[in-house]
Structure 1
Amino acid sequence: MNAALGNSPAPSRSIDSAGVSISHHGGDEGVTGSCHRLQFAPDRALLVDCGLFQGQDADRLDSLTQHQVTFPVDDVLALIVTHVHIDHIGRLPYLLAAGYQGPILCSVPSARLLPLVIEDALKIGFTHDRALIERFLAEVEQRLVALEYATWHTVIDDARHRVRLRLQRAGHILGSAYVEIDTLDRASGARQRTVFSGDLGAPHAPLLPAPKSPYRADVLVLESTYGDRRHEDRTTRRARLKAAIDRALDNQGSVIIPAFSIGRTQELLYELESLIHQAVDESWRDLEIIVDSPLAARFTQVYRELKPWWDAEAHQRLRSGRHPLSFDNLYTVDSHAEHERTVDYLARTGRPAVVIAASGMATGGRVVNYLKRMLSDERHAVLFTGYQAAGTPGRDIQHYGPRGGWVELDGERITIRARVDTIGGYSAHADQHDLLNFVKRMRKPPREIRLVHGDSHAKQSLKAKIDAWAAEAGHALHVTIAGVANQDQAAKQE
Structure 2
Amino acid sequence: MEYEFPRIQHHGAVDGVTGSCHQLWLSDNDSLLIDCGLFQGAEASARGAGANALAIEFSLNSVCALVATHVHIDHIGRLPWLIAAGFKQKVHCTEPSALLLPTVLEDAFIVGVKRDKALASRFVEKVAGMLEGHPYKQWITLLHRDDLVCRIRFQRAGHILGSAYVECDITYPLENRTRRIVFSGDLGAPHAPMLPAPKPPYKADVVVLESTYGDRLHENRRTRRARFQRVLEKALEDGGTVIIPAFSIGRTQELLYELEDIITRATRITSLGGAGGTAGNQNERSLASSSPWQKIPIILDAPLATRFTKLYRQLRPWWNAEAVKRVINGRQPLGFEQLLTVETHVQHRAMVNRLAHTKQPAIVITGSGMCNAGRVVNYLKAMLNDPRHAVVFVGYQARGTPGSQIQKYGPRGGYVELGGERYEIKAGIHTIGGYSAHADQAGLVNFITGMRRWPAEVRLVHGDDEAKITLAALLKSKATERYHDMCVTIP
TM-score, scaled to structure 2: 0.94
Q: Of the candidates 361, 365, 379, which is equivalent to residue 370 of structure 1? A: 379
Q: State how far apart, in whole Å, the 2-side matches of 1:17 and 1:478 are.
A: 17
Q: Is the 8 A contact 1:257 1:382 kept in 2?
A: yes
Residue-by-residue CA offset, 1:317-346 (whole Å, 9 max, x unaligned): 011110100100001100000000000000
Task: Give the drift of 1:283.
Answer: 2.0
Find the counterpart in structure 1 of residue 46 from structure 2: 60
Task: Give the drift of 1:282.
Answer: 2.6
The answer as to 2:48 corresponding to 1:48 is no
Find the counterpart in structure 2 of residue 299 from structure 1: 308
Residue-by-residue CA offset, 1:343-395 (whole Å, 9 max, x unaligned): 00000103111000010000100001000000000000000000001100000
Paired residue type of 1:178: Y
The answer as to 2:296 corresponding to 1:287 is yes
Q: State how far apart, in whole Å, the 1-side matches of 2:462 and 2:440 are.
A: 13
Q: State how far apart, in whole Å, the 2-side matches of 1:201 and 1:171 are.
A: 4
Q: State how far apart, in whole Å, the 1-side matches of 2:240 and 2:449 are.
A: 46
Q: Is the 8 A contact 1:74 1:99 kept in 2?
A: no
Greater shift, 193-202 or 118-127, is seen at 118-127
Task: Give the drift of 1:402.
Answer: 0.2
Structure 1 counterpart SS, 2:189: coil
Structure 2 counterpart SS, 1:160: coil
Find the counterpart in structure 2 of residue 19 from structure 1: 5
Q: Of the candidates 381, 387, 393, which is equivalent to residue 384 of structure 1? A: 393
Q: How many residues align?
A: 467
The answer as to 2:251 corresponding to 1:264 is yes
Structure 1 counterpart SS, 2:200: coil
Q: Is the 8 A contact 1:18 1:190 kept in 2?
A: no
Task: Give the drift of 1:453.
Answer: 0.4
Paired residue type of 1:372: K
Find the counterpart in structure 1 of residue 84 from structure 2: 97
Find the counterpart in structure 2 of residue 326 from structure 1: 335
Find the counterpart in structure 2 of residue 175 from structure 1: 162
Task: Give the drift of 1:18.
Answer: 5.8
Paired residue type of 1:196: F
Task: Give the drift of 1:278.
Answer: 1.2
Find the counterpart in structure 1 of residue 276 from structure 2: none
Q: Is the 8 A contact 2:245 2:371 kept in 1?
A: yes
Q: State how far apart, in whole Å, the 1-side matches of 2:175 and 2:73 are.
A: 39
State the percentage of identical aligned residues.
Answer: 55
TM-score, scaled to structure 1: 0.93
Structure 2 counterpart SS, 1:454: coil
Residue-by-residue CA offset, 1:141-181 (whole Å, 9 max, x unaligned): 10000010000000011122110000000000000000000
Q: State how far apart, in whole Å, the 2-side matches of 1:217 and 1:224 are.
A: 18
Task: Give the drift of 1:28.
Answer: 1.0
Structure 1 counterpart SS, 2:369: coil
Q: State how far apart, in whole Å, the 1-side matches of 2:301 and 2:136 are.
A: 33
The answer as to 2:364 corresponding to 1:355 is yes
Paired residue type of 2:196: P
Paired residue type of 2:37: G
Q: State how far apart, in whole Å, the 1-side matches of 2:4 and 2:139 are.
A: 21
Task: Give the drift of 1:42.
Answer: 1.0
The answer as to 2:414 corresponding to 1:401 is no
Find the counterpart in structure 1 of residue 279 from structure 2: none
Structure 2 counterpart SS, 1:38: strand
Q: State how far apart, in whole Å, the 2-side matches of 1:424 and 1:128 are.
A: 35
Find the counterpart in structure 2 of residue 426 from structure 1: 435
Q: Is the 8 A contact 1:449 1:480 kept in 2?
A: yes
Residue-by-residue CA offset, 1:18-55 (whole Å, 9 max, x unaligned): 62110110111110000000001111000000000001
Q: State how far apart, in whole Å, the 2-side matches of 1:59 and 1:156 are.
A: 38
Structure 2 counterpart SS, 1:41: coil
Q: State how far apart, in whole Å, the 1-side matches of 2:326 and 2:67 are.
A: 33
Structure 2 counterpart SS, 1:184: strand
Structure 1 counterpart SS, 2:443: helix
Q: Is the 8 A contact 1:217 1:446 kept in 2?
A: yes
Aligned-CA RMSD value: 1.0
The answer as to 2:467 corresponding to 1:458 is yes
Q: State how far apart, in whole Å, the 2-side matches of 1:410 and 1:307 are.
A: 39
Task: Give the drift of 1:17.
Answer: 5.1
Moved over 6 A (4+): none
Structure 2 counterpart SS, 1:154: strand
Residue-by-residue CA offset, 1:268-287 (whole Å, 9 max, x unaligned): 00000001111136321111
Report matched runs for 1:58-97 at 5 Å.
58-64=44-50, 65-97=52-84
